[in-house]
Amino acid sequence: MRILYCGDIVGRSGREAVLTYLPKLKAELSLDFIIANGENSAHGFGITKTICQELFTAGVDVITSGNHIWDQREIMSYINQEKRLLRPINYPATAPGKGFVIATSKSGKQVLVINAMARLFMDPLDDPFSAVDNVLKQYPLKTAVTATVLDFHGEASSEKMTMGHFCDGRASLVVGSHSHVPTGDAQILPGGTAYQTDAGMCGDYNSVIGMEKSAPLHRFTKKTPGERLTPATGPGTFCGTFVEVSEAGLAIQVSAVIRGPRLRNVLPE
């Protein structure tokens, strides 16, 4: 089965990049299942019910998130009604929503999607490794589900790579999010799990991680409060990760997917 993961969608430019490139990618890559990280889709901060519905209509099957999940307050109640929207699994159990879901693909296959958050240079949540381990043991590949994708939302490449190896042989794809920069290390690990440290963002790359440059320039150079962060509004570039999964639930091929005006475009062979 063929799965596409779309990196953090940042603001309108990111949403437009997804809406522009996803229909072509769906056809060209014969996609059976689509995941998108929506944590920055509402003007850079969080996601709304309307944006979730827009993404589902565009063909997204499951929406993942990260540290920005609670930025729009309406999501606190919506996430309890919409099981296709995930928050990181290692938030306290009292947080609304869930950190994993088993969803049905376009061809009727069961896909387990897990969302977890790293801890280095991030909010110190519960241990993501034991949280992911529990779900992987509960729903093993081949017997319980056809494919498993983990979106590991974090800053440090070391922690993300460790998670990749921790899940090797037990997940179809471990893909990183949050840095908003695509890494060039997409590979199949020795046990058969596809891995990429970060898929990058869907957004305007003439920016600082999707945000208008002026505010970060002020913050970093003057170290005094400046203007608010707002998303850059130029043409968006689509960044994601494509994986083809075998009957055993392991990766046959993996590739970064980059489409758009600023970065060198990359498509699976």
Residues 64 and 86 sit within 8 Å (Cβ to Cβ): yes
From the CB of 125, what's the least distance to Fe ion, in Å?
13
| Cβ neighbours of residue 20 closer than 8 Å, sequence gap 6 or more | 236, 238
Determine which residue in the list 63, 178, 200, 232 makes contact with Fe ion, applying CB under 5 A: 178
**Burial class of residue 20, CB neighbours in 10 A (0-12, 13-18, 19+):** middle
Closer Cβ to Fe ion, 68 or 259, answer by number:
68
Smaller CB separation from Fe ion, 31 or 122: 122
Q: Give 2 or 12: the residue with its C-beta nearer to Fe ion.
A: 12
Q: How far is the CB of 226 from Fe ion (least distance, A)?
A: 21
DSSP 3-state assignment of 19?
A: helix
Nearer Cβ to Fe ion, position 132 or 147? 132
User: For Fe ion, which residue of 14, 44, 59, 66 counts as binding (CB under 5 A)?
Assistant: 66
Report the nearest approach of Fe ion to the CB of residue 208 (Å): 13
Classify residue 27 by burial, with Cβ atoms within 10 Å: 0-12, 13-18, 19+.
exposed
Tell me the C-alpha to C-alpha distance, in Å, between residue 154 and each of 40, 120, 178. Answer: 14, 7, 6
Q: Residues 48, 32, 106, 192: is their CA dihedral positive or negative?
A: negative
Query: Cα angle at 156 between 9 and 92, to 5 degrees?
Result: 75
- Which residue's CB atom is positioned nearest to Fe ion? 8
What's the gap between Cα 97 and its chain centre?
17
Pattern 19-58, Fe ion, x by CB under 5 A? --------------------xx------------------
Asked if 67 interacts with Fe ion (CB under 5 A), we say yes
Least CB distance to Fe ion at residue 198 (A):
10
Burial class (CB in 10 A: 0-12, 13-18, 19+), 133: middle
68 catalytic residue (yes or no): yes
Q: Which of 1, 5, 6, 8 binds Fe ion (CB under 5 A)?
A: 8
Q: Which is nearer to Fe ion, 8 or 16 (CB)?
A: 8
Looking at residue 172, what DSSP letter applies?
S
Closest contact distance (angstroms) between CB of 265 and Fe ion is 22
Span near Fe ion by CB under 5 A; candidates 25-33, 129-137, 177-185, 258-266: 177-185
- Catalytic positions, please? 68
- Using CB under 5 A, list all residues that contact Fe ion: 8, 39-40, 66-67, 178
